[in-house]
Structure 1
Amino acid sequence: MGELKRHQPSMSIDEQVENLKTLGLVISDEDYARHILNDISYFRLIKAYSLGFKAKNGDYDEGVTFEQIVELYLFNANFRQITFAEIEKIEVNVRCRIANYFAETYGVLGYMNSENFVDEEYHRSFLEDIKEEVGRNSKAPFVKNFRTNYEGGDLPIYALVEVFSFGTLSKFYKNMKNTDKKAVAKSFGIGYTYLESWLESISYVRNICAHYGRLYNAKLSKTPILYKEYSQQGIGNNRMFGVLLCMRHILLHDKHWNLYVDQIEALIEKYEKVDVRTMGFTDNWKELLEIG
């Protein structure tokens, strides 16, 4: 193991601007740069959105401007917000269909029985997770109602799913029996192995959105299994476009999906310096995303 790095001393806003100029970043309006860096941290803005503009630990490529970096940040912020809204639809839809199927098949408290799942240890961990999540939501009126007025104080599955995180929802589906997974996936017109993979990946993207993270030019660590028709076109599964294709299939009957596609197009046109190829977008991206 090599010698550990030392933390750099903090810099004032003025020092941050001077440091960027020293690294070759073109800053034509220093007051604007100070204003931005007072609202968006140097770490969040510069460290994340300088990728592709400079060599690691090197100077900026010639002609790169501060405004270009801000433009990427603003594109990402807007793209993240509109994408989060689509993920919310998926989350609500999947909660509903899993809860409806599970309650009808195993009863409203059937989730408590490990025999209704594949992995007993996984189920035990799930029960610990929901105990914590119910505790965090203990003041919600519907949680208080079931805990106070019903025998045992347990929440029925149709109420319990409303306190699931998307991650817990994904894990719940993953531990269901294959026949049960197939039934839920069939309601979306999707194979269960695909849906399982997609939910895990979309959950990961959702967490990036929730923490104001970067989707632009990001390699995703939780990758979905893509249909062969996409992989055969050279579309990768570790960039955001691959996840959007999966979201399209889950929301295939959502009449508002194409409005979301139009919003993406409007953002690309507004922020001209953005290169969506770094997100896995193809030249015919809109044709692939739109529902005809």
Structure 2
Amino acid sequence: MHKHYMTIDEQVNFLKNEKKLKFKSEKLAKRVLQEVGYYKLINAYKIPFIINNQYLDNVYFEDIYNLYKFDTELKTIVFEAATNIEINFKSLLSEVISSQYGIKEKIYLKKENFAPDTGKADEYTFAKMKKHIKDSIKKQVDNMQPAVKWYNDNYKYFPFWVVVNILTIGSASRIYGKLKDSDKITVAKNYKLPYDYLGSYIRHINLVRNICAHNDVLYRYKSINSIPQKIKNVKDIYEELGILKNPKTGRYFKGSNDFLATIIIFKLLLSKENFNLFYTKFKGLLSKLKKTLSPIFYEKILDEMGLPENWFEIK
């Protein structure tokens, strides 16, 4: 887009005359550009449809809009699934801390209840964790958050099962990282995973959840770090889908840091009922997208997401 303000009419003319984008309905385009914004729509979702910053033949504004709508609905169902994981993970974290170290924060927040600090420069130290928890409690008391206020008024202490629900999943993940290995194992065994795998998967879910919450582009998101893949119940998923490994890196070509990686984590962390619910909704979204895009663009979207042709066999 030009580095100066353009009216909606000028935006349509720019796309049509300079970028050679086609329109089935300029009236629809103007309404959508007004509601969504040029940057949020065009800049974010044009990538599958362009080469050398020009639109390919037979690309319509409506194609970009349909991809935008797909990604918007995708974020809704992913956020729902991520929230279910967050609720379960926090519950298990709370169970371990409360059962092992008591219900009063002055007891369970003792340094000896957690793994020693390592001394790394960017470490989430015990002191940082304790301060963060206490600051979070104070903020909720000051804001008169009902559950926290009730415990403050009646008991003057805050069980971790109350505290964990005022923390973000990112904060809960960092607290999990500060647990003793034995306590991490207790949490992770509920998922039949090594504790370090669980920590990595929860961090990935936190990143994906934040993309949904901030309304960024999800379908082509690639995480910086690949998810752990080496244990049998994880490798089995890749092998069932026939995904090959990169001989140089030892990582699978698909499902390492793309949307398929997110689906694999959902498969491992969600209950069977909740995964099936996500699976059904996601399959429906792809079916709808397939009807609105030409095959070449639909295949490009699947490839960008890391989805093989038989992705549905993950069920």
* Same fold flag (TM > 0.5): yes
The alpha-carbon deviation at position 230 of structure 1 amounts to: 4.9
Tell me if 1:228 matches 2:235: yes
Judge conservation of contact 2:221–2:259 (CA < 8 Å) in 1.
Answer: yes
1:155 to 155, 158, 165: 158
Match of 2:120 in 1: none
RMSD of the alignment, in Å? 1.9
- The superposition leaves residues 199-237 of structure 1 with CA deviations (integer Å, 9 ceiling, x where unpaired) of 000011011111122111222235422333456623332
Is 1:46 matched up with 2:42?
A: yes
The correspondence of residues 195-234 of structure 1 with structure 2, limited to 5 A, is 195-221=198-224, 223-226=226-229, 227-230=234-237, 233=243, 234=252
**Selected match of 2:188 from 185, 188, 206:** 185
What residue identity is the alignment partner of 2:262? Answer: V
Q: Distance in 2 between matches of 1:284 and 1:119?
A: 46
Q: How does 1:269-288 map to 2 (within 5 A)?
A: 269-272=287-290, 273=293, 274=298, 275-288=301-314
Cα separation, 1, equivalents of 2:7 and 2:224: 34
1:4 maps to which residue?
none
Q: Partners of 1:84 and 1:163 in 2: how far apart?
A: 18
Q: Which residue of 2 aligns with 1:146?
A: 151
Residue segments in structure 1 that go unaligned for 5+ positions in a row? 1-6
1:126 touches 1:172 (CA, 8 Å); kept in 2?
yes
Aligned to 1:115: 112
1:258 is matched with 276
**What's the TM-score, normalizing by structure 1?**
0.89
Q: What is aligned with 2:21? A: 25
8 Å CA contact 1:25, 1:66 repeated in 2: yes
TM-score, normalised to structure 2, is 0.83
Of 108, 125, 128, 1:125 maps to 128
> What letter corresponds to residue 86 of structure 2 in structure 1?
E
Asked if 1:268 corresponds to 2:273, the answer is no
Structure of greater relative contact order (alpha carbons < 8 Å, 6+ residues apart) = 2
1:119 Cα offset (Å): 4.1
1:94 positional shift: 0.7
Q: Which moved further from structure 2: 216-225 or 24-33?
A: 216-225
Deviations 1:171-196 (A, max 9, x none): 11111111110111002222111101
Instruction: Tell me if structure 2 keeps the 8 A contact 1:79–1:264.
Output: yes
Name the count of aligned residue pairs. 279
Identity level (%):
30
Q: Report the residue type matching 1:163 in the other structure.
A: I
More divergent stretch after superposition (178-187 vs 212-221)? 212-221
- Work out the CA distance in 2 between the residues paired with 1:282 and 1:250: 21
Matched with 2:82 is 87
For 2:152, give the aligned amino acid: R
Equivalent AA in structure 1 for residue 264 of structure 2: L
Q: What pairs up with 1:162-181 in 2 under 5 angstroms?
A: 162-181=165-184
* 4+ aligned runs moved over 4 Å, structure 1: none
One-letter amino acid of the structure 2 residue matched with residue 262 of structure 1: T
Moved more, 265-274 or 110-119: 110-119
104-113 or 68-77, larger mean C-alpha shift = 104-113
Compute the displacement of 1:41 (Å): 1.3
CA contact (8 A) 2:255 2:264 kept: no
